[in-house]
């Protein structure tokens, strides 16, 4: 893990790595874990869950967001995603939009392949020119 990562980053890494082991991936064998630091200071985690109808699977990021919401929180302050391989495991397009719903553009998302180095990018870098909740505000 990169030396300049914070204590929070290390806790997010540990949470994402631990929950990743619980992933249900009988088809792809591609385990992913995600850990969210919410506004309340707690960390919420989830892993990916596949099923035979691939489009109905649950991404780790979407599951972690749901866990955060189920616990009464609605603001992502930082997100860590860890998956199989060397290359950073990036949130899919659908998850990027889900993250956008609950995170500001400057929120850092750390993507990590378990055998490689982590990559930290802002949501704005991952989803430029995005459409978010503020776009639906009524103009007065």
Active-site option among 50, 61, 87, 101: 61
101 an active-site residue? no
Q: How far apart are CA 57 and CA 79, in angstroms?
A: 20
Residue with tokens 């599951």: 63
Q: 11 near 38, Cβ under 8 Å?
A: no
> What residues contact 51, with CB distance under 8 A and at least 6 apart?
57
Task: Give me the active site residues, please.
Answer: 61
């Amino acid at each position: 893990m990169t030396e300049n990562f914070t204590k929070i980053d290390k806790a997010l890494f540990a949470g994402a790595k631990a929950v990743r082991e619980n992933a249900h991936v009988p088809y792809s064998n591609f385990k992913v874990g995600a850990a969210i630091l919410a506004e309340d200071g707690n960390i919420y985690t989830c892993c990916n869950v596949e099923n035979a109808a691939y489009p109905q699977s649950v991404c780790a990021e979407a599951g972690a967001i749901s866990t955060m919401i189920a616990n009464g929180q609605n603001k992502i302050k930082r997100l860590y995603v860890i998956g199989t391989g060397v290359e950073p495991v990036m949130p899919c397009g659908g998850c990027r939009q889900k993250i956008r719903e609950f995170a500001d553009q400057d929120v850092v998302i750390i993507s990590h392949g378990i055998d490689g180095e982590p990559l930290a990018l802002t949501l704005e870098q991952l989803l430029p020119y995005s459409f978010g909740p503020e776009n639906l505000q009524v103009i007065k």
